[in-house]
Amino acid sequence: MVRLGGAVRSSLAQRLVALTGRGVLHVVVIGIALVWLIPSLGLAVTSLRPPGDIAASGWWTVLGQPRFTLDNYAEVLSSQGLAQNFLNSLFITVPSTILPLSIGALAAFGFAWLRFPGRDWIFLGVLAMMIIPIQVSLVPSLLLFRTLGLTGSYVGIWLAHTAFGLPFAIFLLRNFFVQLPRDLIEAAQMDGASSLGIFRRIIVPLSVPAIASLAVFQFLWVWNDLLMALIFVQQPSQQPLTVAMSTLLSTYGQEFNLLSAASFILMVVPLIVFFSLQRYFVRGITAGAVK
């Protein structure tokens, strides 16, 4: 008897055949991934090798003479004080991610679903702000913060990052929110939800993919930022990793063991953030809502 639906449990051969169909694409994707991955791998390997080995041979020879050490990390974290900078970075980045995200989501909800005069013009105005380069506003912002007494604390840089992150956050979230089915929002309205209730119980749960990807964007942006940290964070004890790194670079330009360890510390956090939020990047979250 001929069994129908052979795809239910496909044999190895069938799967291989299916794979060849997408083979070219896979080769290209894997190639791109390797190109991106090799420098990071080199950095990671280098940071784990003793200084002598680093000077003597390239990181790719490591398999021939596998000798690893954590001394480089101990050195940068303790005697170079990077542990403190690491905490500073977190202390700058986390609020600078949460603030624009929460304010941006509320604003985006307003632009997407609330009716008020001039709504779309104001939204266009917000979009226009995206084209203002940060450099143009550094001096005025700094003067403003000085007048308001916001220098010397983290509040200044939180506000600066929030302000520069908001237009994009509002733009991205608003465009996601408007695509949610209108009927859902009206159904919640009929069920007795207030505007804030609709935001909290319908919009946010259904927009997790957009919010998560925005969180990654903003986190990376703030974590990797050097310019704004240089301008707005003046006390050396408060400076984030990026600033510490640049100081390290000018002081120990040749000490690859220290630089590679510090770089890897700087790099690993965004990776953790990305992979921990990855499971929220799901498609079809509104499946089953309408029709």
Partner 1 sequence: MATVTFDHVWKRFGDVVAVNDLSLDIQDEEFLVLVGPSGCGKTTSLRMIAGLEEITEGTLKIGERVVNDVPPKDRDVAMVFQSYALYPHMTVYDNLAFGLKLRKVPKAEIDRRVREAAKTIELSDLLTRKPRQLSGGQRQRVALGRAIVREPAVFLMDEPLSNLDAKLRVQTRAEIARLHQRLKTTIVYVTHDQVEAMTMGTRIAVMNFGLLQQVGTPQRLYEHPVNKFVAGFIGSPSMNFVQVTTGREGDRAVLHDEAFTVPLPDRFREAVGPTTGRSLTLGFRPEHLAIGPVGDNAATVRTNVDVVEFLGNEELLHLRAGHHDLVAVVDARHRVRPGDVLDLGIPFDKVHLFDDETGDSLAEVKAVSAA
Binding site for partner 1 (CB under 8 A): 181, 183-184, 186-194, 197, 201-202, 205-206, 284-291
Judged by CB, which is closer to partner 1: 9, or 291? 291
Judged by CB, which is closer to partner 1: 6, or 181? 181
Q: What minimum distance in Å lies between the beta carbon of 180 and partner 1?
A: 10
SS (H, E, C) the chain: CCCCCCCCCCCHHHHHHHHHHCHHHHHHHHHHHHHHHHHHHHHHHHHCCCHHHHHHCCHHHHHCCCCCCCHHHHHHHHHCCHHHHHHHHHHHHHHHHHHHHHHHHHHHHHHHHCCCCCHHHHHHHHHHHCCCCHHHHHHHHHHHHHHHCCCCCCHHHHHHHHHHHHHHHHHHHHHHHCCCCHHHHHHHHHCCCCHHHHHHHHHHHHCHHHHHHHHHHHHHHHHCCCHHHHHHCCCHHHCCHHHHHHHHHHHCCCCHHHHHHHHHHHHHHHHHHHHHHHHHCCCCCCCCCCC
Judged by CB, which is closer to partner 1: 146, or 200? 200
Q: What minimum distance in Å lies between the beta carbon of 218 and partner 1?
A: 24
Q: What minimum distance in Å lies between the beta carbon of 290 and partner 1?
A: 4
Judged by CB, which is closer to partner 1: 129, or 285? 285
Q: What minimum distance in Å lies between the beta carbon of 107 and partner 1?
A: 23
Judged by CB, which is closer to partner 1: 5, or 284? 284
Q: What minimum distance in Å lies between the beta carbon of 285 and partner 1?
A: 7
